[in-house]
Structure 1
Amino acid sequence: MLALYYYPGNASLLPHMMLREIGAEFELRLVDRGQNAQKSAEYLKLNPSGRIPVLVDGDLVLFETAAIALHLADKFPQAGLAPALGTSERAEFYKWMIHLTNTPQAEYRAWFYPHEHVSDEAAAPAVKQASSERLNRMFDVISEQLGDRTWLLGDRFSAADLFLFMLIRWGRGMPRPPRSLPNLNALAERVLARPAVQQAIDAEGLKAPIF
């Protein structure tokens, strides 16, 4: 059976939502960040970087959120969370998955943990402010690319939309949250309405406002 090491609302939310969409049997294994469990010797054997999530699939132990998402899309093609291999639509899917993990997801590190980017704690607020401004520009670009389409791939729902939903959710406490962009808000509402997403949110005990 698949096992997902998670913490509520963390990057593990993406593969958790995907597993619910797929309808696969899996076990959720809580990594209690409140107790710094992600830095425990036991967890570091799974992911030496000490970050969440990790997916265990038989003998495969996989970390990195985007890698887990791509593995699940490939392992369960019948779920339709990615277009067919070798198609231009699949290339567009890769583009969005890589962009989301390399650009806004990576930038959130400076927003949430500005102290990691300075040697003088007094500079942390400036790092956070600059990160907020960069995130605003990133979401502006995503909004422009999305336009009035239903999903990032047009009429086709994919794991990329779940990824974007998670990133929109992470920005709910920003001075200008991503949901303030009407088309991003509309996409997030469409994702939130999906039964599998509701199941993941309920299982993790996430409370309103969701995004």
Structure 2
Amino acid sequence: MDITLHFAPNTCARVPMIALEEIGCEYHTELVAFMRGDHQSPQYLALNPKGRVPLLVVDGKVLTENVAILHWLSSEFPEAKLLPVYQNNFDNALVIADLAFCASTLHGLVTRLRIPHFFCDTVEAIPRVFQMAEQAMRPNFALMDERLSKGLWWYGDQWSIVDVYINWIWFRVAGTAFDTSPYPHLARHSMTLSQRPSVQRVLRRHEEAAEWLASRGLEVKFDGAGAVKAAAS
């Protein structure tokens, strides 16, 4: 099986890359340089008309969207135990709901916290976009913190790729002006996950990719905190 993951450093493509590392299968990667316009090139759009990452190509077939990619990887490589599997369809659907919670409910708010200036057409509106996203995110962070207060991982003692997605959400939000101090269990969860070998390997790969882009003037500069501060001054 020939597997290629198209990714950009620090994006949510980190999640399926960690999944592939957990699986231990051979796979290839293709770096997408947003600042060079790779995601809008005819070649990339022919594969993914959405112009986004992650993009997984399996034996020439294309799969997009993290929920679909992670569900397929879990089903194709059950020995990796990326997701819990139950004997009834309803409980399995609840697992998909957890992935969708990360990919839809949370991810959309992350983008507004990270790049609020992308969601308004005046500088004066930037702080308000951030504030509204912050207000919407806090109940979700409280929900996750409460659940993680009851166990090591999202599913108690059982690690899953949902933990990796939650960790990516935390990583992106913690890099903004969003105060994460009220969520100690999420912070603990992040520290615990960071010790996992698969996570450490992928973090190094993303750091190397970011350094490669920076050396060519192609680093992505989405400074949400800076944009909010500048707009408020």
Alignment of 1:28-177 (within 5 A): 28-87=29-88, 90-177=92-179
Identify the residue that residue 21 of structure 1 maps to in structure 2: 22
The TM-score normalised by the length of structure 1 is 0.90
With 79-88 and 26-35 compared, the bigger mean Cα shift is at 79-88
Superposed CA offset, 1:82-102 (max 9, x none): 122544653442231111112
Distance 1:33 1:119 in 2: 21
The 1:84–1:177 alpha-carbon spacing in structure 2 relative to 1, beyond 3 Å, is: same
Query: Which stretch of structure 1 is more off in the superposition, 62-71 or 86-95?
Result: 86-95
Larger relative contact order (C-alpha < 8 A, sep ≥ 6)?
Answer: 2
SS of 1:51's equivalent in the other structure is coil
Moved more, 59-68 or 23-32: 59-68
Distance in 2 separating the partners of 1:144 and 1:32: 37
Q: Assess, with a 3 A threshold, how the Cα gap between structure 1 residues 157 and 89 changes in structure 2: closer, same or farther.
A: farther
- 5+ residue gaps, structure 1, are none
Out of 181, 184, 188, the position equivalent to 1:182 is: 184
Say which is worse superposed, 88-97 or 12-21, in terms of deviation: 88-97
Percent identical: 27
Deviations 1:98-153 (A, max 9, x none): 11112111211222332343343431221122112222222111112232311111
Does the 8 Å contact 1:83/1:89 carry over to 2? no
- Report the Cα distance in structure 1 between the residues aligned to 2:125 and 2:22, rounded to whole angstroms: 42
TM-score normalised by L of structure 2: 0.82
**Are the equivalent residues in 2 in contact too, given 1:55–1:63 (CA < 8 A)?**
yes
In 2, distance between residues paired with 1:198 and 1:185? Answer: 17
Q: Report the CA distance shift for 1:19/1:155 in structure 2 as closer, same or farther (over 3 A).
A: same
In the alignment, the residues of structure 2 paired with residue 155 and residue 177 of structure 1 have an alpha-carbon distance, to the nearest angstrom, of 28
Give ranges in structure 2 of 5+ residues lacking alignment: 211-233
Distance in 2, matches of 1:94 and 1:198, equals 26
Q: Could you tell me how far 1:73 is from its partner in structure 2?
A: 0.9
Partner of 1:197: 199
Instruction: Give distance in 2, aligned partners of 1:52 and 1:170.
Output: 16
Does 21-30 or 111-120 show the bigger shift? 111-120
**8 Å Cα contact 1:136-1:178 kept in structure 2:** no
Structure 2: how far apart are the matches of 1:158 and 1:182? 20
Residue identity in the other structure for 2:139: R
Question: Would the aligned equivalents of 2:148 and 2:189 in 1 still touch at CA under 8 Å?
Answer: no
**For this pair of structures, how many residues does the alignment match?**
207
